[in-house]
């Protein structure tokens, strides 16, 4: 019993880490630019396709990951610079729709360029699972956990120790105040959007071996990532990480004992959380329209 | 839009669309596409009412269509209910579900509502996948066609006229609603919720009304869809389709009565025009159209038509 | 040092200030007086690049500022301390100061922070506290300290006395005089005309977006109109 729970938790953590990676991007973008980005999942999907073809060209895996992060950063940066910046004054819902349009573009591009036939994406590491005490984990799960941990740490260092990170946090608190201080808010927006698209790209590569690579494979993951972000309060990166990990673990345990609730569980959870904190934890009522 | 313009546009569309099937006597599949246009136009009108007129965003609209479709199909197939009656029940049930979703909407605004509806929509399709009466992951096959008295709406042509009639009726009802006192209340809520509240509009009541009506319309289009296509699968009605609904509403023109028809035509016919080889490019085009609409044309394609009309009048 | 010629500016189609000309010379404290809505804040926002001017010129030590973004204007040495202080409540005192020195090198920044702490020793004690936990007076000190971090040539100060107890107001104004002695030029916007005229060398009076009076502060203090309208005597 205890061993089962331990194993479920361990495996849930590696799922949760994936949710956390994307949820972090969602929260970062939401907090600094007030955009609820629904394009992240499909951007991640598109980057995973690019990674697939790089791998097919025999590019080594570590380099593929770095290139994928760069691709994501590039997409994110371009999106901010040439799209989101021009529509900053639109209503929140209008901005949300723009990201939906972006999601459609990524989906259509992937389907046109790469086709819709499901592809098998290899895990980073294969081989027999590893026994750690009573816990049995696949090598891929271990890599996912280690990489995520490294990224979480890196991101914290950036957000708390570098000017650009502290600047991003200041924008989240008071954008006008940041502008008055002469903080280069536009560069920081580009940086945040770059991060926000690079993270789901990596998440896509890490998670895709569990499914198969096709244009819709990130949709359920994105829904979970939103759940994780809301779960964590939508307003802090720590919250997003904890929310994602908790969601991954809970989901894994619930799915083991009540398979019928596998998918719905987290969805119902998010609605309940939203009802208790109707506008998140910082309650601003928006009067803007589209 | 004045009443006369609505009527004249309605008449023009009717005049153009009534003989349309005869042009394609030899190709019922093309009439089939028109039927899809009409069904999606009805469904999108529901979302238009909710988002375009009442300002409430929903990322779970396809789920109401699924509810309508499944309820009606199951009633007809497993309980032998008359299909007309089944559609009525399905529509009502979808409305009830809309009421249930409407309650959280009273406390949520903007994108929190988007997330909540996205979650509820996905939970619905997931539930359908796990139940046995719905055929689970295999979907429901060979749903019987609609039957009124003893006439079976089996051919694409017969369905075309039925759906056309349904669409015009729904559009007229929505048109009348938004021109009524309730319609003004809805628009007031969309434009400035706090102000609406302060002048004594019962915001909660009207939001619920919008949710119920919009999901009823979606449910109706789903039920018609089920009996028309005769096959239902939960994956059809996932988040992707909800997003496409939103896209149709936006591209057609939010808060315009004919927008849903324009948006649905664009969505259904564009891939056919582009051709099967580049079919998925139409998704890209559609995504771009959504972005351009939000950026430059708040009334989408309707705005283009409106502007053309204005230019013609100036000449 | 700062030269403004026939400046018009505002928000979108709404023009809030109309054809204002003023100058600030090096080492001066210049006050801009006016009641609420007179356009004082708009003036400062326009100088610091937060809003675009519609007509006229702003130049600083010969550089035209008209189309510069706030970061570039900060790099020139013009620092805007906004109304309501606008410190970041969730960031620590140290982080608030760090951001003020966004364009400084690491060791230069450390030196400037040390310098700010020498003027406001209290902030040193609160270094690791978040800005939101400071009292109103401490927050104003932090805002002033932030203004000093980038080694400014010109400080634009918007209502530094707003919402502070009289004792603290005096303290803030003593600090301004200290800054002046250190060679910092100050353009001060105030509703509290009495204090502003006491500390400043020259002053301008803004009324509904137009410049209506200008002169030495001493002279304006004895001006009948100013007395009646702004000094409440």
A287 touches chain B (CB under 8 A): yes
B216: region left, alpha or beta (phi > 0 left; psi from -120 to 50 alpha): alpha
Q: Write the pLDDT tens digit of every residue in B173-204.
A: 999 999 999 889 999 988 888 888 888 888 88
Q: Does A118 touch chain B (CB under 8 A)?
A: no
- Picking from A90, A264, A287, the nearest residue to B194 by CB comes out as A287
In this complex, which chains have at least 3 CB pairs below 8 Å with chain A?
Answer: B, C
Cβ pair C102:A178 closer than 8 A: no
Confidence of residue B4 (pLDDT cuts 50, 70, 90): low
Instruction: Tell me the per-residue pLDDT of C122-138, one tens digit each, with 9 for 90 and over.
Output: 999 999 999 999 988 89
Of A170, A176, A180, the CB nearest to C91: A170
At C221 the pLDDT is: 87
Is the pLDDT at B30 greater than 90? The verdict is: no
The whole-angstrom distance between C27's CA and the closest CA on chain A is 22
Q: Do C103 and A182 touch (CB under 8 A)?
A: yes
The total of other beta-carbon atoms located within 10 Å of residue B78's CB is: 9
This prediction has a pTM of: 0.90
For residue A121, is pLDDT > 60? Answer: yes
Mean pLDDT on A24-46: 93
Contact between chains at B119 and A267 (C-beta distance less than 8 A):
yes
ipTM: 0.91
The predicted structure's pLDDT at residue C110: 95
> pLDDT category, B5, cuts 50, 70, 90?
low
The more confidently predicted of residues C165 and A194 is A194
Share of chain A above pLDDT 90, in %: 70
| From A163, A173, A180, residue closest to C80, measured CB to CB | A180
pLDDT of A252-272, one tens digit each?
999 999 888 877 888 888 888
How far apart are the two ends of chain B, measured CA to CA in Å?
20
* C146 in contact with chain A, both atoms CB, cutoff 8 A: yes
* pLDDT tens, residue by residue, C37-83: 889 999 999 999 999 999 999 999 999 999 899 999 999 999 999 98
Which of B109, B193, B244 comes nearest A279 by C-beta?
B109
Percentage with pLDDT > 70 across chain C: 99
pLDDT for the residue numbered A290: 25
Tell me if there are at least 3 CB pairs under 8 Å linking chains A and C. yes
Q: Which two tokens stand for residue C58?
A: 């702003």
pLDDT 10s digits, A54-111? 999 999 999 999 999 999 999 999 999 999 988 887 777 888 899 999 999 999 999 9
pLDDT at A281 over 70: no
**Is C48 in CB contact (< 8 Å) with chain A?**
yes
Task: Say if CB A128 and CB A140 are below 8 A apart.
Answer: no
Give pLDDT, residue B132.
Answer: 84
Contact A90, B108 (CB under 8 A): no
Does pLDDT of B23 surpass 80? Answer: no
- For the record, the structure tokens of C144 come out as 């002033």
d(CA C136, CA A45) in angstroms, rounded, equals: 49
pLDDT score recorded for residue A283: 38
What average pLDDT does the segment C141-168 reach?
Answer: 90
Given CA atoms A115, A116, A120, A124 in this order, what sign does their dihedral have? Answer: positive
pLDDT computed for residue C233 by the predictor: 52
C82/A173 touch (CB, cutoff 8 Å), yes or no:
no
Higher pLDDT among residues B30 and B60, named by residue: B60
By C-alpha distance, the chain A residue nearest C44 is A180
Q: Which residues of A touch C (CB under 8 A)?
A: 163, 166-167, 169-170, 173-174, 176-184
Give the closest of A92, A111, A227 to B119, CB-based: A227
Percent of chain B scored above 70 by pLDDT?
Answer: 97
Buried b / exposed e across B90-122, counting CB within 10 Å, b at 16+?
A: bbbbbbebbeebbebbbbbbbbbbbbbbbbbbb
What mean pLDDT is reported for chain A? 89
Q: What is the pLDDT of residue C80?
A: 95
From chain B, pick out residues whose CB is under 8 angstroms from the CB of A216. 240
The pLDDT score that the predictor gives to residue B208 is: 93
Using a CB-CB cut-off of 8 Å, the residues of chain C touching A173 are 88-91
Q: Which A residues 84-113 touch B at CB under 8 Å?
A: 86-87, 90, 92-94, 96-98, 100-109, 111-112
Q: Using a CB-CB distance cutoff of 8 angstroms, which residues of chain C are in contact with residue A174?
A: 86, 88
pLDDT in tens, B200-245: 888 889 999 999 999 999 999 999 999 999 899 999 998 989 999 9
Give residue B6's pLDDT: 67
**pLDDT digits 0-9 by tens, B48-80:** 999 999 989 999 999 999 999 999 999 999 998
Put simply, the answer to whether C73 touches A182 (Cβ < 8 Å) is yes
Q: Number of residue pairs across A and B with CB atoms under 8 Å?
A: 153
Please calculate the CA angle C97-C151-A183 and round it to the nearest 5 degrees.
50
A102 contact residues in B (CB cutoff 8 A): 287, 291
Average of pLDDT values for A111-135? Answer: 90
CB contact under 8 A, A180 and C87: no
Angle between helix A185-207 and helix A61-82 axes, rounded to 10 deg: 140
Instruction: Indicate the SS3 state at residue C79.
Output: strand
Give pairs for B3-6: CB < 8 Å, separation 24+: B3/B179, B6/B175, B6/B257
**Structure confidence by residue, pLDDT tens digits, C75-90:** 999 999 998 889 999 9
Q: Does the pLDDT at position A284 exceed 60?
A: no
- Nearest residue in chain A measured CA to CA from C82: A180
DSSP 3-state of B295: helix
Mean pLDDT of chain B: 87
């Amino acid at each position: 019993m205890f061993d089962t729970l331990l194993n479920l938790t361990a495996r849930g953590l590696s799922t949760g880490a994936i949710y956390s990676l994307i949820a972090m991007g969602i929260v970062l973008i939401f907090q600094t630019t007030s955009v609820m980005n629904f394009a992240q999942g499909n951007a991640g999907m598109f980057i995973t396709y690019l990674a697939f073809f790089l791998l097919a060209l025999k590019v080594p895996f570590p380099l593929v990951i770095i290139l994928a992060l760069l691709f994501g950063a590039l997409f994110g940066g371009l999106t901010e610079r040439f799209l989101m910046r021009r529509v900053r004054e639109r209503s929140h819902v209008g901005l949300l729709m723009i990201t939906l349009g972006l999601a459609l573009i990524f989906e259509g591009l992937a389907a046109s360029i790469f086709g819709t036939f499901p592809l098998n994406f290899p895990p980073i590491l294969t081989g027999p699972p590893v026994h750690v005490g009573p816990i049995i984990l696949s090598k891929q799960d271990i890599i996912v956990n280690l990489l995520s941990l490294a990224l979480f740490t890196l991101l914290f260092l950036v957000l708390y120790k570098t000017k650009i990170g502290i600047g991003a946090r200041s924008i989240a608190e008071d954008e006008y105040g940041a502008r008055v201080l002469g903080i280069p808010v536009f560069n920081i927006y580009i940086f945040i959007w770059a991060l926000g698209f690079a993270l789901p790209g990596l998440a896509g590569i890490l998670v895709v071996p569990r499914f198969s690579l096709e244009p819709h494979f990130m949709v359920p993951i994105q829904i979970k990532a939103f759940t994780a972000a809301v779960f964590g309060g939508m307003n802090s990166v720590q919250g997003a990480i904890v929310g994602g990990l908790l969601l991954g673990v809970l989901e894994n345990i619930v799915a083991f004992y009540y398979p019928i609730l596998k998918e719905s569980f987290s969805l119902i959870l998010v609605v309940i959380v939203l009802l208790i904190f109707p506008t998140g934890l910082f309650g601003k009522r928006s009067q803007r329209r589209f | 839009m004045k009443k006369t313009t609505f009527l004249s546009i309605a008449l023009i569309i009717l005049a153009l669309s009534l003989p349309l099937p005869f042009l394609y006597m030899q190709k019922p599949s093309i009439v089939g596409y028109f039927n899809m246009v009409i069904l999606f136009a009805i469904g999108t009108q529901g979302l238009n009412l909710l988002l375009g007129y009442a300002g409430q965003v929903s990322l779970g609209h396809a789920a109401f269509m699924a509810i309508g479709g499944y309820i009606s199909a199951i009633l007809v197939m497993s309980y032998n209910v008359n299909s007309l009656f089944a559609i009525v029940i399905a529509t009502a049930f979808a409305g009830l579900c809309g009421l249930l979703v409407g309650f959280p909407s009273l406390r949520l605004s903007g994108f929190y509502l988007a997330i909540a509806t996205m979650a509820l929509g996905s939970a619905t399709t997931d539930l359908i996948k796990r139940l046995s009466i719905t055929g689970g992951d295999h979907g429901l096959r060979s749903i019987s066609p609609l039957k009124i008295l003893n006439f079976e709406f089996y051919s694409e042509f017969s369905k075309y006229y039925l759906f056309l009639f349904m669409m015009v009726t729904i559009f007229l009802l929505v048109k009348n609603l938004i021109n009524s006192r309730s319609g003004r209340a809805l628009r007031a809520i969309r434009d400035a919720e706090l102000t609406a509240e302060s002048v004594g509009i019962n915001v909660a009541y009207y939001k619920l009304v919008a949710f119920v009506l919009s999901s009823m319309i979606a449910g109706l289009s789903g039920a018609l869809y089920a009996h028309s296509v005769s096959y239902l699968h939960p994956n059809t009605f996932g988040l992707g389709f909800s997003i496409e609904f939103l896209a149709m509403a936006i591209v057609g023109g939010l808060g315009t009565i004919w927008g849903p028809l324009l948006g649905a035509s664009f969505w259904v016919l564009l891939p056919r025009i582009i051709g099967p080889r580049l079919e998925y490019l139409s998704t890209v085009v559609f995504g771009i159209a959504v972005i351009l609409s939000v950026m430059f044309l708040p009334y989408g394609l309707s705005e283009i038509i409106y502007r053309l009309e204005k230019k013609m009048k100036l000449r | 040092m700062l030269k403004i010629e026939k400046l018009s500016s505002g928000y979108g189609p709404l023009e809030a200030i109309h054809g204002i000309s003023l100058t600030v010379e090096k080492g001066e404290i210049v006050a801009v007086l006016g009641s609420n809505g007179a356009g004082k804040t708009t003036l400062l926002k326009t100088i610091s690049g937060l809003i675009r001017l519609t007509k006229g010129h702003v130049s600083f030590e010969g550089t035209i500022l008209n189309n510069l973004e706030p970061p570039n204007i900060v790099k020139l040495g013009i620092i805007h301390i906004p109304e309501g202080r606008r410190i970041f409540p969730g960031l620590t005192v140290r982080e608030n100061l760090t951001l003020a020195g966004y364009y400084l090198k690491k060791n230069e920044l450390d030196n400037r922070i040390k310098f700010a702490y020498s003027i406001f020793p209290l902030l040193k004690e609160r270094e690791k506290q978040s800005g939101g936990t400071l009292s109103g007076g401490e927050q104003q000190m932090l805002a002033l300290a932030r203004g000093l971090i980038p080694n400014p040539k010109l400080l634009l100060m918007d209502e530094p006395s707003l919402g502070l107890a009289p004792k603290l107001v005096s303290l803030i104004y003593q600090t301004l005089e200290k800054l002046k002695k250190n060679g910092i030029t100050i353009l001060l916007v105030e509703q509290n005309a009495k204090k502003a005229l006491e500390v400043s060398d020259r002053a301008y009076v803004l009324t509904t977006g137009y410049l209506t009076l200008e002169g030495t502060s001493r002279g304006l203090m004895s001006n009948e109109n100013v007395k009646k309208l702004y000094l409440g005597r």
